[in-house]
Amino acid sequence: MRLDGKVAIITGGASGIGRATVHKFVREGAKVLVADIDRARAEEVVAEVEEAGFPGSAAATAVDVSVFAQVEQMVAEAVRVFGAVHVIFNNAGIAGGVPLLEHDPEADYERIVRVDQNGVYYGIVAAGRQMAKQGSGGVIISTSSVYGEQAAELSFTYSAAKAAVISFTRSAAYELAEHGIRAVAITPGRVATPIINQFSDELRATFAAEQLRGRLTNPDEIADVVAFLASDESRVINGTVVSVDDGYSVFKQRLQLPVF
Range of the domain at 116: 7-245
Residue 255 lies in a domain: no
Instruction: Tell how far CA 75 is from the center of its chain.
Output: 16
- Residues 12-33 have pLDDT tens digits of 999 999 999 999 999 999 999 9
The pLDDT, as a whole number, for residue 194 is: 86
Residue 2 lies in a domain: no
Task: Let me know if 158 is a catalytic residue.
Answer: yes
Q: Which of the residue ranges 50-59, 132-141, 150-159, 233-242 would you say has the lowest mean pLDDT?
A: 150-159
Helices (H) and strands (E) in the chain, counts: 9, 7
Q: Mean pLDDT of all residues in the chain?
A: 96
Q: What is the mean pLDDT of residues 58-72?
A: 98
Q: Which of 121, 122, 147, 158 is catalytic?
A: 158
Q: What is the pTM of this model?
A: 0.96
Asked whether residue 260 carries a pLDDT value surpassing 70, the answer given is no
Question: Tell me, what CATH number does 124's domain have?
Answer: 3.40.50.720
pLDDT category at 97 given cuts 50, 70, 90 is confident
Contact in structure between 65 and 92 (CB atoms under 8 Å): yes
Contacts of 75-78 with CB under 8 Å at 24 or more apart are 75/9, 75/126, 75/127, 75/129, 75/130, 77/33, 78/7, 78/9, 78/33
All residues at 6 or more sequence positions from 128 whose CB lies less than 8 Å from its CB, including other chains: 138, 140, 172, 176, 179, 181
pLDDT category at 152 given cuts 50, 70, 90 is confident
Total tally of structural domains belonging to the chain: 1
The pLDDT, as a whole number, for residue 161 is: 98
Q: How far apart are CA 15 and CA 35, in angstroms?
A: 11
Work out the percent of the chain whose per-residue pLDDT is above 90.
Answer: 91
Residue 200 lies in a domain: yes
Residue 30 lies in a domain: yes
